[in-house]
């Protein structure tokens, strides 16, 4: 039996998702990002390893502490936005793709300390 894949947004990702949703009608970029998120969620459900894996030593401490993340995947979105998710195994029943963040590029660079070059 195949495990069911559920996608859950962290409170931070949920907040961004709601914001994009509220702007989508009048803001083309928000609509584009929102549509991409919804599409990528389906792709992740079909293949949990859809995103690019991030090396364990690069997983931000914040995600390890807050969400006990031991793996991290990055999905590219339009306008250089990123969606980051971790996989958790809930017994034998389902796999949860837990979306930790939906962030723009500067925030992403900052989180992964890419600015300091």
Q: Does residue 104 lie within any of the structural domains?
A: yes
Q: Does residue 81 lie within any of the structural domains?
A: yes
User: What are 104-116's pLDDT values in tens digits?
Assistant: 989 998 988 776 5
User: What are 14-56's pLDDT values in tens digits?
Assistant: 999 999 999 999 999 999 999 999 999 999 999 999 999 999 9
User: What's this model's pTM, rounded to 2 decimal places?
Assistant: 0.86
Higher pLDDT, 93 or 22: 22
Q: Does residue 117 lie within any of the structural domains?
A: no
Q: Does residue 24 lie within any of the structural domains?
A: yes
For the chain, the domain total comes to 1
pLDDT at 93 over 90: no
Q: For residue 14, what are its two tokens?
A: 């949920």
DSSP the chain: -PPEEEEEE-HHHHHHHHHHHHHTTT-HHHHHHHHHHHHHHHHHHH-TT-SEE--GGGS-HHHHHHH--S--EEEE-GGG-EEEEEEEEETTTEEEEEEEEEE-HHHHHHHTT-TT-
Q: What is the CATH number of the domain that holds 15?
A: 3.30.2310.20
User: What are 62-82's pLDDT values in tens digits?
Assistant: 999 999 999 999 999 999 999
Domain hosting residue 48, numbered range: 4-111
């Amino acid at each position: 039996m195949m495990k069911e894949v559920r996608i859950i947004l962290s409170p931070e990702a949920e907040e961004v998702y709601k914001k994009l949703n509220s702007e989508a009608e009048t803001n083309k970029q928000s609509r584009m990002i929102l549509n991409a998120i919804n599409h990528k969620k389906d792709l992740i459900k079909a293949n949990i390893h859809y995103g690019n894996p991030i090396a364990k030593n690069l997983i931000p401490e914040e995600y390890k502490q807050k969400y006990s993340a031991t793996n991290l995947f990055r999905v590219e979105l339009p306008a250089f936005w990123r969606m980051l998710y971790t996989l958790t195994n809930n017994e034998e029943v389902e796999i949860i793709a837990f979306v930790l963040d939906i962030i723009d590029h500067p925030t992403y660079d900052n989180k992964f300390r890419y600015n300091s070059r």
